[in-house]
């Protein structure tokens, strides 16, 4: 039992961390573009993205299931019921949250640095360099927030991961399975591990803010 719990916990950490990094690959550039652009289009896109933060996970899972199934347009990739499918699903799920948090961080730093840098004779390139440095804390915070969201997700992991023992079973799907089986002891153990991870992430986030603010 202990080995199985450790295996599930490690798999959950790897999958969710991979999904978070994958999401950051496009979330950071999109956030920078939306922050630097002052057009109405960028504001509209930002509003739409913010509204998608609470998008139902089961709906994302359903869409991805239809796309990744054998009859779907991406069926040839053979990703359904694999860890890669969960990584893809979680990365899509947390993208609106990542962009929303990143844009708020970049917007605040950008507004604070813009006039000061130009007043001191700097260029727009210098502004973006300064923004990148000053936004480090915010970027790390958004990464932790998104990771916390990903590891606590159930709908996507269950629908396109399949909850296959030793392969795609993660903490949330395991908890749901054990509860349905009446194995409350194991479900509670897994739940406590998930809670511990969430608390640890919150403490790390607080520590990062304390370090950078001081």
**pLDDT value at residue 68:** 94
What's the whole-number average pLDDT of the chain? 86
pLDDT of residue 43 exceeding 90, the answer is: no
pLDDT tens digits, one per residue of 100-152:
998 888 887 777 776 666 666 666 666 677 777 777 777 888 888 999 999 99
Alpha-carbon dihedral sign for residues 43, 44, 45, 46: positive
pLDDT tens digits, one per residue of 52-92:
888 888 899 999 999 999 999 999 999 999 999 999 999 99
Please give the average per-residue pLDDT across 93-100, as a whole number: 94
Contact 88, 150 (CB under 8 A): no
Domains of the chain: 2-213 (1.10.3720.10)
Higher pLDDT pick, 166 / 105: 166
Closest CA to 139 of 49, 44, 25, 14: 25
**pLDDT value at residue 21:** 94
pLDDT of residue 38 exceeding 70, the answer is: yes
**pLDDT value at residue 104:** 84
Give the Cα separation of 146 and 120 in Å (integer): 36
Please give the average per-residue pLDDT across 4-26, as a whole number: 94
With 0-12 / 13-18 / 19 or more C-beta atoms within 10 angstroms meaning exposed / middle / buried, residue 68 is: buried
As a whole number of Å, the end-to-end CA separation of the chain is: 44
The whole model's pTM is what? 0.88
* Residue 154: DSSP 8-state: -
């Amino acid at each position: 039992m202990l080995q199985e719990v450790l295996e599930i916990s490690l798999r959950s950490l790897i999958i969710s961390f991979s999904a978070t990094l994958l999401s950051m690959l496009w979330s950071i550039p999109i956030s920078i573009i939306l922050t630097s652009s002052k057009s109405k289009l960028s504001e509209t896109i930002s509003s739409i993205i913010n509204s998608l933060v609470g998008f139902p996970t089961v709906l994302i899972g359903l869409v991805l299931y239809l796309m990744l199934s054998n009859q779907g347009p991406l069926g040839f990739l053979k990703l359904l019921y694999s860890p890669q499918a969960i990584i893809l699903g979680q990365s899509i799920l947390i993208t609106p949250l990542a962009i929303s948090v990143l844009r708020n961080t970049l917007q605040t730093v950008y507004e604070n640095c813009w006039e000061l840098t130009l007043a001191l004779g700097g260029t727009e390139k210098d502004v973006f360099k300064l923004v990148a440095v000053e936004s480090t804390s915010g970027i790390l915070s958004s990464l932790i927030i998104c990771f916390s969201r990903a590891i606590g997700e159930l709908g996507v992991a269950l629908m396109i991961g399949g909850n296959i023992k030793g392969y795609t079973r993660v903490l949330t799907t395991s908890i749901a399975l054990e509860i349905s089986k009446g194995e409350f002891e194991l479900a509670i153990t897994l739940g406590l591990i998930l809670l511990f991870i969430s608390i640890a992430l919150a403490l790390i986030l607080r520590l990062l803010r304390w370090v950078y603010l001081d």
